[in-house]
């Protein structure tokens, strides 16, 4: 009789163990469905990608050298692909990026949504810098709005910097009939631009955060990494996401 009780007790423990194992497995499975990780590492891109965003893109300049845009277009890893590219066009008064015209043409040929940006020299006239951009960039239907890239003050007083920025934005908006996007990092925006340009669309750079950039105001693009890899591009490249779905992204384009 004692042996039978021991066997019955052991059998009960085994059933309990398997039941708890199944419950734990189911709990893990359903939790993983509900609480998906914000970032997933993709060896092909060489970085962690924020998978909670649907529209991914890059920004490039002469530093990426000769780009094979066909290879960029064809790269697709678990439905993560390059849907847009911001391309450096101009800098200061008379500088045109040496790769701009080539990048601008071939991104279009590969049906990658393209946008052009101007690298701003804060102490210099915003109007003259805007003229450099306008003379260089011909925007077309389906292109993204023009971008002002401002990252450094170069010793300019805040009031002067803000006036020059406003002059550039006003001139470019008047020329193309669309509100430009401001690109900068969180710290620079908070120190130099906050409160003056909050009604402009923002493309913000903020690395080493795992869900969204740490900035109080709204934004539409987030540059989350500067060390990504894309087929067809030799050097490292900046990675970005659009805050919205593909339908919202289409609405952003020039009509």
Partners of 55 in the β-ladder: 242
Which are the contacts of 165, defined by CB distance < 8 A and separation ≥ 6?
120, 122, 126, 148, 150, 182, 193, 196, 197
For 106-117, b where at least 16 C-beta lie within 10 A, e where not — what string? bbeebebbbbbb
Residues taking part in catalysis: 59, 151
CA 171-177-180 angle, to 5 degrees, is 65
Give the CA radius of gyration of the chain: 25
């Amino acid at each position: 009789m004692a042996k039978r009780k021991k066997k019955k007790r052991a059998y009960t423990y085994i059933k309990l163990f398997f039941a708890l194992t199944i419950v734990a497995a189911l709990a893990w499975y359903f939790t993983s469905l509900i609480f998906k990780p914000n970032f997933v590492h993709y060896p092909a891109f060489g970085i962690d990608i924020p998978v909670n965003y649907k529209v991914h893109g890059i920004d490039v300049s002469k530093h990426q050298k000769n780009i094979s845009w066909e290879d960029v277009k064809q790269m697709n890893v678990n439905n993560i692909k390059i849907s847009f590219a911001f391309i450096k066009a101009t800098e200061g008064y008379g500088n045109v990026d040496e790769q701009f015209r080539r990048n601008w043409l071939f991104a279009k040929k590969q049906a990658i949504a393209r946008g052009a940006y101007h690298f701003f020299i804060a102490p210099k006239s915003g109007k003259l810098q805007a003229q450099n951009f306008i003379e260089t960039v011909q925007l077309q239907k389906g292109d993204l709005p023009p971008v002002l890239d401002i990252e450094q003050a170069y010793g300019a007083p805040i009031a002067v910097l803000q006036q020059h920025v406003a002059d550039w934005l006003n001139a470019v908006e008047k020329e193309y009939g669309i509100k430009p996007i401001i690109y900068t990092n969180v710290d620079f925006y908070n120190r130099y631009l906050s409160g003056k340009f909050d009604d402009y669309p923002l493309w913000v750079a903020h690395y080493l955060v795992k869900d969204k950039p740490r900035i109080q105001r709204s934004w539409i693009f987030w540059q989350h990494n500067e060390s990504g890899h894309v087929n067809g591009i030799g050097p490292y490249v900046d990675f970005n996401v659009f805050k919205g779905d593909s339908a919202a992204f289409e609405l952003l384009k020039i009509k």
